[in-house]
Structure 1
Amino acid sequence: MTKFKLEYIWLDGYKPVPNLRGKTQIKEYDAFPTLEQLPLWGFDGSSTEQAEGRSSDCVLKPVALYPDPARTNGVLVMCEVMMPDGKTPHASNSRATILDDADTWFGFEQEYFFYKDGRPLGFPEQGYPAPQGPYYTGVGYKNVGNIARQIVEEHLDLCLAAGINHEGINAEVAKGQWEFQVFGKGSKKAADEIWMARYLLTRLCEKYCIDIEWHCKPLGDTDWNGSGMHCNFSTKFMREVGGKAYFEALMAQFEKNLDDHIAVYGPDNHLRLTGKHETAPWNKFSYGVADRGASIRVPHSFVNNGYRGYLEDRRPNSQGDPYQIASQVLKTISEVPTEGYATAAA
């Protein structure tokens, strides 16, 4: 028997953006445990904005697990928060009721800032560094400093060792800003892995005395870029049938549901989606081929392949809850009937 360190991880009840929480218990198993072997576990919800002190019990229900490469015999356990009966989802549990479809694939591009001493990593104590331009995919000390790349490389290795489908990293447009990408099949799987990658990055930065700033526009009304979490999506129908007529019907439905999407695409998005800095205004919908200033960017590959493949919704922001984002995208797609398009696409 081996003693395993089970790190139960969940989202608290803070609004408008939940925080990641975690606590460890030790359990003995013959081998790396399965999800079915992991017990429910209680916690004090009054300390996480999920209960009152007079009735503070909440329950953690394991829903996904990963090896924890930073610990000997470690297990990362993604959990949903349940009521004391262990069966009823807590009101803050955004995962329990979302739409999910394993044939709908999602790729999230998570942007963020490294912060130290109250400012982006690499910013001077007063004022700003040189204007944006050389930092995006930049190389060299003057562009990326001497710590950031070390952290993102270590984070990449941690994610891969944990089995997270991490697909890439790059320095972003603003100094101190970076991005990683995660791909998953189905809303829950893709979102689980984004949250777990966020957890690993935040925990990793503890030893560097650096914080992660997830806010979508931390530098306010300036010419410095905000942070997004672009959502690439593709259904089985989009990949195998598609067609221009279906695409146009889908875009019409996205435009119709503009307010529903913006409502779950992350708080303070009006500060980021201004129509400047390669963004579409938050209250207008647009799409265009290779247009980084559109609400939805249509890849050349999509058009060249007979309007088949994937699309990129550029409106979700870096603070957004990927469970809600993926679910809303899937909801809008499901409202467009697919009957009658196969012949036209062929």
Structure 2
Amino acid sequence: MARLSDLFNLNLSDVTKKTIVEYIWVGGSGRDLRSKARTLPGPVTDPSKLPKWNFDGSSTEQAPGEDSEVILYPQAIFRDPFRRGNHILAMCDCYTPTGDPIPTNKRHAAAKIFSHPDVVAEGPWFGIEQEYTLLQKDVSWPLGWPVGGFPGPQGPYYCGVGADKAFGRDIVDAHYKACLYAGINISGVNGEVMPGQWEFQVGPAVGISAGDQLWVARYILERITEVAGAVLSFDPKPIPGDWNGAGAHSNYSTKSMREEGGYDVIKKAIEKLRLRHKDHIAAYGEGNERRLTGKHETADINTFSWGVANRGASIRVGRDTEKAGKGYFEDRRPASNMDPYVVTSMIAETTLLWKP
């Protein structure tokens, strides 16, 4: 294993200028990540300078076997925390050979919304709180839980410290540092209410970059849990019963919301979200009805509500925002397995482009 580690950590910059690019894309389920690597002659810093590539879409449920070629378009570049040096990660989206986005390509539609002049003028900021659960590999049971049994009730685990309260901190801290190395604007981490559950925050990020950064942060976490021998779950309710679910609370502001008089703009935006509640819920993640029950710091899935400092509401406005009369709000409805391209662009479209 020591020899393998030595080879894994080889510094190629001493012997070659060649660069390894890991092409990353979202698979056919809309929730799985795929990737494969390619060698280029030298360093690349602009995604438009990367060559397009292809993969077998019939093996990812993204194309039929008789016409299986799907084309990868690199869209965003990040430093590779695994290979390091000049090696990079490239977040891609997927197209047919004729240049049409395939049905699972949610980035393409999001990019159209974020490039709309009315949206660009408002400079939408997002901060996404990604919750997730770490599972034991062979039994699919949360890390730190007795196999076939349960830990003590929730209470001491949220932001907890100690071997009997925090399970998987080495994975969490490795991910935190790897994201910073990659160039992702990860703004923090914390232990969550259910033991074995954690959260990281990405943002503030502007427009389409929020989706790019969150997907790559998920990819890096998946790779780290692979090395650690743990299983990563984005299930919005991994354990039934009196245990917290996992969400992806999405914090949002626009230029008008951040300026004087912004609180009135926020309230008008929230009213638009109320009118389209069912549309948003339908796009906010699979299995979300198991999480949004009105309990465990959630609103009921069928009822829209908002409030100041209310974590049992659909939309929460912070005390600081209320006091300052400007700022941001938090959409607490998205599930942990949501597609950030879909959620961020839908919030922007509803609040900035949609006319009731």
Query: So what's the TM-score if we normalise by structure 2?
Result: 0.89
Identity within the alignment, %: 45
Question: Structure 1 segments of 4 or more deviating over 6 A?
Answer: none
Asked if structure 2 preserves the Cα contact closer than 8 Å seen for 1:6 and 1:26, the reply is yes
Q: CA deviation at 1:244?
A: 4.7
Partner of 1:25, secondary structure, is strand
| Aligned equivalent of 1:165 | 185
Q: CA deviation at 1:336?
A: 6.9
CA distance in 2, matches of 1:211, 1:41: 29
- In structure 2, do the counterparts of structure 1 residues 62 and 336 end up closer, same or farther at CA, with 3 Å as the change threshold? closer
Partner of 1:127, secondary structure, is coil
> Can you give the 5+ residue segments of structure 1 that lack an aligned partner in the other structure?
338-346
Q: Which of the two has greater helix per residue?
A: 2
- In structure 2, do the counterparts of structure 1 residues 107 and 244 end up closer, same or farther at CA, with 3 Å as the change threshold? closer
- In structure 2, do the counterparts of structure 1 residues 244 and 199 end up closer, same or farther at CA, with 3 Å as the change threshold? closer
Asked if structure 1 preserves the Cα contact closer than 8 Å seen for 2:52 and 2:71, the reply is yes
| Aligned equivalent of 1:80 | 93
Kindly report which structure 2 residues correspond to 1:10-89, keeping only aligned pairs within 5 A, or say none: 10-14=25-29, 17-29=30-42, 31-72=43-84, 73-85=86-98, 87-89=99-101
Query: So what's the TM-score if we normalise by structure 1?
Result: 0.92
Asked if structure 1 preserves the Cα contact closer than 8 Å seen for 2:249 and 2:331, the reply is yes
CA deviations on 1:288-307 (whole Å, 9 max, x unpaired) are 1100000011101111112x
Q: Does 1:107 align with 2:107?
A: no
Q: Which moved more, 1:236-245 or 1:64-73?
A: 236-245
Q: Which amino acid aligns with 1:119?
A: W
Q: CA deviation at 1:335?
A: 4.4
CA deviations on 1:100-127 (whole Å, 9 max, x unpaired) are 1451000000000000121000111122
- In structure 2, do the counterparts of structure 1 residues 176 and 28 end up closer, same or farther at CA, with 3 Å as the change threshold? same
Kindly report which structure 2 residues correspond to 1:98-137, keeping only aligned pairs within 5 A, or say none: 98=110, 99-100=113-114, 101=119, 103-116=123-136, 117-137=139-159
Partner of 2:108, secondary structure, is coil
Q: CA deviation at 1:91?
A: 1.3
CA distance in 2, matches of 1:89, 1:170: 37
Q: Which amino acid aligns with 2:225?
A: C
| Aligned equivalent of 1:332 | 350
Kindly report which structure 2 residues correspond to 1:1-346, keeping only aligned pairs within 5 A, or say none: 2-14=17-29, 17-29=30-42, 31-72=43-84, 73-85=86-98, 87-98=99-110, 99-100=113-114, 101=119, 103-116=123-136, 117-145=139-167, 148-220=168-240, 222-306=241-325, 308-335=326-353
Q: Which amino acid aligns with 1:81?
A: C
Q: CA deviation at 1:34?
A: 2.2
CA deviations on 1:115-165 (whole Å, 9 max, x unpaired) are 0121000111122100000000000001014xx111111111110000000
Aligned-residue CA RMSD in angstroms? 1.4
Asked if structure 1 preserves the Cα contact closer than 8 Å seen for 2:31 and 2:337, the reply is no
Partner of 1:8, secondary structure, is strand
Q: CA deviation at 1:243?
A: 4.5
Asked if structure 2 preserves the Cα contact closer than 8 Å seen for 1:249 and 1:336, the reply is no
Q: CA deviation at 1:251?
A: 2.1
